[in-house]
Amino acid sequence: MTAAQIIFLITAAVILGSAFMVVTTKNLVHAALWLIVTLFGAAVLFATLNAGFIAVVQVVIYIGAIAILFIFAVMLTRRSMTDTGPGLNRGWWLSAAIALLTFGGLVWLVSGWGGFTKAAPAYPSGFDAVAALAHALVSPEAFVLPFEVASVLLLAALVGAVYIAFQRKGEE
């Protein structure tokens, strides 16, 4: 066992445990807080994978914006502090079976692939992934079009979501 493996196992345990809490806990604010733990664990994994930019963006966007949005939405859509009721459907065991089948199927599928257990290639020394990513996103021969289209997607989401959620005057 190397140190990297121990760190991975601890992080993985935290991610899976908190993800399990997200889908089972009755109190939705707790679920959102557990989601933050999961997201943070994923950020740690990205950092161990040398993807520093993705790790930090994960914290900025997921924890700083999306999780906060979730908590606001939970606060807006509840009748009282304690109203939680049964969290799961009656047919939850069927869902659990489907999820287990999916997990088994996915692992079975990828384990048949040749590169399943390959080790990471040596990280090129002196290679700055952040600078390379910046260049890839902006330079004309790489991903500039997806980059611009992403902003159009976000504009559409903003207009649509604000229109849906906006309470017009006189309504209620």
Partner 1 sequence: MIPLSWYLTLSAALFSIGMFGVLARKNAVAILLGIELMLNAVNINLVSFWRYNNPVLMDGQVFAIIVFAVAAAEVAVGLALVISIYRRRNTVVADEIDLMKW
Partner 2 sequence: MQSDWTFIGLFLIVGALIPAAAIVVSALLSPRKPNPIKDSTYECGIETVGENWVQFKAQYYIFALVFLVFDVETVFLFPWALSLNQLGLFAVVEGIIFIGILVAGLVYAWRKGMLEWV
Partner 3 sequence: MDFWSNPVKFLDDWLTGVFSGWGMAADAARVLTAFVGILVLITLVMVLDIFLVWLERKIVSRFQDRIGPNRVGPFGLIQPFADIIKLIIKENIYPVGVDKAVFNLAPVLMMMSVLLLWAVLPLTSFLGLDLNVGVLYVIGVGALGTVAIIMAGWSSNNKYALLGSFRQVAVMISYEIPMVAALLIPTIFAGSMGINSIVAAQDTWYIVLAPLAFLLFLVSATAELGRAPFDLTEAESELIAGHHIEYSGMKFGLFYASELLHAFTFGGFIAAFFFGGWRGPWVEAYPALGLFYFIVKATIAYWLFGWIKYTFPRIRIDKMLDLNWKFLVPFAFVLVPFLALMHALLRETSFYALGMFLANIALGWATIEILRRRAHGERAKVEGAVEMHG
Q: Which partner from the list partner 3, partner 1, partner 2, none does 44 bind, CB cut-off 5 to 8 Å by kind?
A: partner 2
CB atoms within 10 A of CB 41: 20
Name which of residues 3 to 42 contact partner 1 (CB under 8 A). Answer: 4-5, 8, 12, 15-16, 19-20, 22-23, 28, 31-32, 35, 38-39, 42
DSSP 78: -
* Binder of partner 3 out of 33, 49, 136, 142 (CB under 8 A): 33
Taking a C-beta distance cutoff of 8 angstroms, is the pair 25, 31 a contact? yes
Taking the CA atoms of residue 3, residue 18, residue 106 and residue 129 in that order, the dihedral angle to the nearest 10 degrees is -50
Within 8 A by CB and 6+ apart from 104, the residues are none
- Say if residues 60 and 95 touch (Cβ distance below 8 Å): no
By CB under 8 A, residue 154 contacts partner 3 = no
144 is a contact residue toward partner 1 (CB under 8 A) = no
Residues numbered 125-144 forming contacts with partner 2, rule: CB under 8 A = 129-131, 133-135, 137-140, 144
Residue 134, amino acid: A
- Residue 154, judged by CB atoms within 10 A of its CB (0-12, 13-18, 19+), counts as exposed
Q: Does 13 bind partner 2 (CB under 8 A)?
A: no
d(CA 129, CA 52): 8
Residues that contact partner 3, how many (by CB under 8 A)? 24
Q: Give the x/- contact pattern for partner 3 in 52-71, rule: CB under 8 A.
A: xx-xxx-xx--xxx-xx--x
Task: Name the residue nearer to partner 3 (CB basis): 47 or 142.
Answer: 47
Element holding 46 (H helix, E strand): helix 28-48
Question: Residue 44, interface with partner 2 (CB under 8 A)?
Answer: yes
Give me the residues that bind partner 3 (CB under 8 A), please. Answer: 3, 29-30, 33, 36, 52-53, 55-57, 59-60, 63-65, 67-68, 71-72, 75, 81, 128, 130-131
